[in-house]
Amino acid sequence: MGPDLTDLLPVRPPLEWDAMLAYLALRAIPGVEAVAGATYARTVVVDGVPGVVDVTRAGDDRLAVRARLASDRPPDVAPRVRRIFGLDADPDAAGAVLGGDPLIGPLLAARPGLRVPGTWDGFEIGVRAIVGQQVTVPGASTLAGRLVGRHGERLAGPAPPGLTHTFPPPAALAEGDLDGIGLTQARAGAIRGFAQAVAEGRVRLDRSIPLDELVDSIAALPGLGPWTAQYVALRLGEPDAFPASDLGLRRALADGGSPAALPSARELTERAAAWRPWRALAAIHLWSSGRPAARPE
């Protein structure tokens, strides 16, 4: 590994750091991500070079980022770190739309520092979402860790505790052996299909295409659908992404009503029209509201 390179990223307060860390910790991929105390650490690949990045809070208005790669070239990690922690959010613009809503407005007022959790890599979060279909969040993390252990690249040299591998690239999973790690055949097939589509450019995860086009390209793949597509878009930083079929969001809207009173995905979509173009933030507030909502994947 090369020398440690540190940077300070400005933060527009408030930022609910503990809530962000809790969200990331619950979904951390073993071997790739770890949350210890007040620090988020992960393995990365920058321009083909593996390494590690860790992020801590350095006061109310900045984050301290330390990067160490197997290269002496300074890595450009700031844009992806900003995406992980939602640092480019526009709270004033979001508040102008959501603040007066009778459901989301009070949630926003109570927790103005809540941000939409992002991701270092769109392919990684897509695979994590597929693995998480119809299993518990801890169960999905276990399966993702097994996948990484088999197909990820092992780090050379010392690394923070819990970090051992980089996440495998699309080409490694498109034809990779996924038998024997606990995935159903359908789920394994969905991962291979997604990996192939990303490798061939049929699914573009660089935010270079409109939200609807991104969602359609993912949802069209076998074993995937609108929920997975919208969740991936949400974690990629699309502010209007909204997985309307999510059971947790529907429960949150029902606020303790009977199962028969749960709104349909269509009804939730209609209600959420008032939250556009900030539906992703509205979803995070509903998921975190304390209402009887199941957490997403």
**Active-site positions?**
246
Give the β-pairing of 49-57 and 62-69: antiparallel
CA-to-CA separations, 97 to 15, 90, 276, in angstroms, rounded:
19, 11, 8
Element (H, E) at 50: strand 49-57
Cβ neighbours around 238 below 10 Å, total: 20
Cβ neighbours around 187 below 10 Å, total: 19
The span from the CA of 24 to the CA of 13, in Å, is 20
Task: Select from 297, 289, 208 the least CA-distant residue to 247.
Answer: 297
- Token pair belonging to 136: 């518990």
Rg (CA), the chain: 19
- Token pair belonging to 214: 């991104």
- Token pair belonging to 156: 């050379």
Residues 6+ apart with CB under 8 A from 193: 221, 222, 223, 224
Alpha helices in the chain (DSSP H): 17-26, 78-84, 91-98, 104-110, 122-131, 137-151, 170-174, 185-199, 211-219, 226-235, 247-254, 265-272, 279-287
| Single-letter residue type at 109 | A
Paired strand residues for 53: 42, 67
